[in-house]
Amino acid sequence: MLDIKFICENPELVKENIKRKFKDSKLPLVDEVTALYAEKCAANSRAGELRANRNKISKQIGVLMGQGKREEAEEMKKLVNEQAEELKILEEKETELAAKVKEIQMKIPNIVDPSVPVGRDDSENVEVEQFGEKTCPDFEIPYHTDIMQMFDGIDKESAGRVAGEGFYYLMGDIARLHSAVTAYARDFMIDKGFTYCIPPFMIRSNVVTGVMSFEEMDAMMYKIEGEDLYLIGTSEHSMIGKFIDTITPEEKLPLTLTSYSPCFRKEKGAHGIEERGIYRIHQFEKQEMIVICRPEESMDWFNKMWGYSVELFRSLDIPVRTLECCTGDLADLKVKSYDVEAWSPKQQKYFEVCSCSNLGDAQARRLGIRIKGADGKKYLAHTLNNTVVAPPRMLIAFLENNLRFDGERYSVVIPKALQPYMGGKEVIESIK
């Protein structure tokens, strides 16, 4: 969320940013919020005059009463009452205008970093770098759910009867592999100096609107009926919310946390090969990372964070690439974002497994996350988040890239880094 004074002082810059994001329907919001804020300021100024006048007249009434000038004092009291009614109307107007201003502020996109490529949608995202050699096995790789079934590792049919479409049971070695990946990711981030956290899996509406746009909330979040609570779609929201209305001394920065949680999403969207199987599901588990830091350090942390994802995936023998999201593919709160994509030998293309984002001070402004400098002055923090691993997609990438076939049976090689989390197993064998 942009500062209202910044919007009013730089309306053309804000409009140009909206155009770069190809969201021209939001252009009228700039003039609308500027006019409303001017009206709010005028109301506030007049209310201030009335309050000052009330205090002045009250003193005069006291003097008149002391002089025995009761009639004059009564006339002054009438004036106070008239102005009190006007002040009440103005205060109600101030509250109403402030709410309208904030509502529009929250719809205006954050200013994207100048380095972000201009583009309309994800088809115009830009590849930055590839890591690891893309594999092309000499045998046909089955679809990922078929691979899991070969290890008796998935049951979607039973999950459909229990919970409906978009859910699954993981079983045996595949379930263990899932847990091994999350445990490895947890320890990987702890070794990077991050504090491990298991957050609340539900958050209140003020946290939801503090961390994401209304459009994202509607597309993602499940609301708890009759409660001011939402199931988290990603644990970064709960972790960022931990610092709502806090002031952190500068010397304690950066705050670096890594969290485990289940995630719940509506997953409204397109269909195709990536919508079948367990690419898009309503419940999954995830290891996440967040950073809260000084503004001048946020881009350095951004580069560190996506680098951690690349390092982790390469340690599990999975080729990846980084893709910079263009302006039209950035959510409204984001300043800059990279996707880390894993190589799919099955599809012979990359697919998204991590998303690293710098949100500048947008979330901090909404949630009141401030820093106290050495000079005692307070300023807004910068917030960043990145996926460590989300095992449904990580599991797909892992199975496809570590699958072997000897002509009769399939097996999955367990990289050395993961073997301690799999009871020392170096390979798992299919049941058929």
Amino acid at site 58: S
pTM, two decimals, is 0.89
pLDDT number for residue 281:
87
Integer angstrom CA distances of residue 239 from 198, 290, 333 = 9, 7, 17
Distance separating alpha carbons of residues 12 and 381, to the nearest angstrom: 26
Residues 145-159: tens digit of each pLDDT: 999 999 999 999 999
Choose among 315, 269, 250, 289: nearest CA to 390: 289
| Sheet (strand 230-231) strand order | 202-203, 230-231, 222-223
pLDDT tens digits for 189-212? 999 999 999 999 999 999 999 998
pLDDT at position 13, please? Answer: 98
Residue 46: per-residue pLDDT: 86
Interior angle at CA 347, CA 345 and CA 353, nearest 5: 80
pLDDT value at residue 272: 44
Give the DSSP letter of residue 166: T
Residue 384: its pLDDT value, please? 98
CA neighbor of 40 nearest in space, from 103, 123, 84: 103
Residues of the chain with pLDDT under 50: 270-273
Residue with token string 């994802």: 309
As given in the structure block, the two tokens for residue 327 are 């302006």
| C-alpha span between 191 and 129 (Å, rounded) | 25
- Radius of gyration over alpha carbons of the chain, in Å? 28
Q: What residues form DSSP beta bridges with 342?
A: 320, 351
Distances (CA, A) of 392 to 14, 144, 149, 166: 39, 10, 15, 12
Structural domains of the chain ordered from first start = 4-105 (1.10.287.40), 122-429 (3.30.930.10)
Pairing of β 382-389 and β 349-358: antiparallel
Q: What is the 3-state secondary structure (H, E, C) of 77-126?
A: HHHHHHHHHHHHHHHHHHHHHHHHHHHHHCCCCCCCCCCCCCCCCHHHCE
338-370: burial string, b at 16+ Cβ within 10 Å, e else: bbbbbbbbbeeebbbbbbbbbbbbbbbbbbebb
